[in-house]
Structure 1
C-alpha cells in the first residue's frame, strides 16, 4: 500500500519510519527539503503510482496550515482518493473539510494521534472518524502505526468523532499531569520526605496511580531532581480549551480538567514548582523544548497572554 505523508516533524517523521518498517511505501513531503521525499505536494501525489487502490494522503501539519494543504490537495487528487487529517484539529472543522473534499469526490477521515516522540518505538494510539468503508480501506496503515495487540485503535464514529475523542483524551491528560505536579510540589515542600524522586519511583508498581505519565515524571526527576533547570511555564495547545468549551455546550461538569487548564494560565504569571513538573512531563513525551531559568526568553515572555 502507498501513502503520501505531509509534515515530517517530530510526529510525522517517526510515523513515516514506522509505516515503512511495516512494509508500506511512504512518500513524504515537508517544507524542509532535507526531510522531504518530494519537492512539493504535486510531486508527492505524482509519486503515488499504484493503480489498484485510491491515493491516500495523511496530513500532519500545525492547525493553521491544514486548510491551505487540504485546499491544494483537493486540486491534485481524484474522486475516490482519501485525505486523513492526523493533526490536532478542532473537531468542529472536520465536517467543513469533509464537505469541501466531497465536492471533488474525495473522502475524508479525521484521526487523533497520541504517542508523542515515543510513538515510533511503542506505536501510536489512533482515534478515527469517518465512514466504515473508508476506515476499512485504511486499516493496513492504522495497523502499521498502532501498538501491537488488541488495543490502541478505535473507529470512534462519524467524521469529527476521532478528533473529538482525541480532544477529550488530551483534556484528561491535562488533569492527570496536574495531579502528579501538585503531588510533586507538596512532597517537595515537606521536610519529612527525604527523596521525592524515590517516592515517585516507588509508585510505578503495585499502585492504582501507576501510568506512563508517571514513568515520564520519574525520568524527568532522574535528570533534574528538583527541576531546577526547567522553567515552570506550560503552554496550552488548544485541546484543553476545546474540551472545556465542549463540556459547557453539553452541560457536562469537568472541574478537574477545567482547573488544570486554568493552572496552565497561572504558569505564565509566576514560576510554580507544579508547573515545572508539568513542563518536565511535556518535554518527556512530546519533545518540547525545556526553558530553563537561565534562558534569555524566560524574562521576555508576555505575562498572562493566552497561547493556543
Structure 2
C-alpha cells in the first residue's frame, strides 16, 4: 500500500493513503514499533479514522429528514483513498471529500482533513471537518482507533501493563450490549484512575468512558520505561478495546468526538447521542497528542 513518511530525530511515522491510517510509529533510539501491525488473525487494521460515525448504528442504519440510510460500523472514511494536500519532513495533511458513492450513505458535501505533525517524541493529530453545504446543517461523528503493541518489549507480558487516567476524578462509564450499542441505562460513575490490563476486562466488549474535560491516558508498565501517553481536551468519549477471548497482543486507545447508538435510539441521526452539528460552510476542529517513551 502507498504510504507517506514523517521523520525527526526521535520517531519515524508512516501514514497510509488509504484511510489516512497510521501504519507505523517506530522509535529511532530503541527500534520499538508502537503500532499494531494488522495481523489478520486478530485484527487487520492499524489505526483507522472513524467518520462520519463512531461505533455502530442500531441495525446499521439511521434516519435523516425521513429517509433511511445504511452505514456499517465506524463509517466509510477508513476504506477510502485520501489526497495529500501538504507534506513536509515532519508533517502531513491528507484530505477526503464526498463523491457519488458516499452520497448513497451520507448525503452531505464535506471536506475531511487529517493533519499529522511530529514534535520531538510526540505525534499530534488534528481533525478538520468542513460542511461544504450552503444551506443544510451537517451531522457527523469522528474519532481515532489506533492499536498499540502490548507488550512493548520481549521481557514483559500483556498483563504487566496498566492504564492510568489523569486527572484523578469520577468518570462516567457506559457498558455496551452484545450488539455494541450503549447501555446508557446502566451507566455508572467510576472513581478508579488505574486499570490493570487483563484479558477478562474486555469480556463484555469495548470499554467506554465519558471524558469531557482535559484528559491524559497512559499505557505503561512498572517493569519498563517505555510508555504511550495520550493528551486531549476536546474529545468527549474514550474507547479502550482488545479482542476477546483471543489473546491478541495489542490494545486500542480511542478518543472520540461521537459514540455508538444507544440501545433505545429512535434512529434519528440529528438526535443521536454525541452527534456534532455544523452549520453551512462552518468548520469543526479537534485534536489529540500521543507521546512515545
> How would you bin the TM-score normalised by the shorter chain?
under 0.3
Higher strand share: 2
TM-score normalized with structure 2 length: 0.27
TM-score normalized with structure 1 length: 0.26
Higher helix share: 1
> Per chain length, whose mean CA-contact separation is higher, i.e. which structure has more relative contact order (CA < 8 Å, sep 6+)?
2
Structure with higher Rg: it is 1
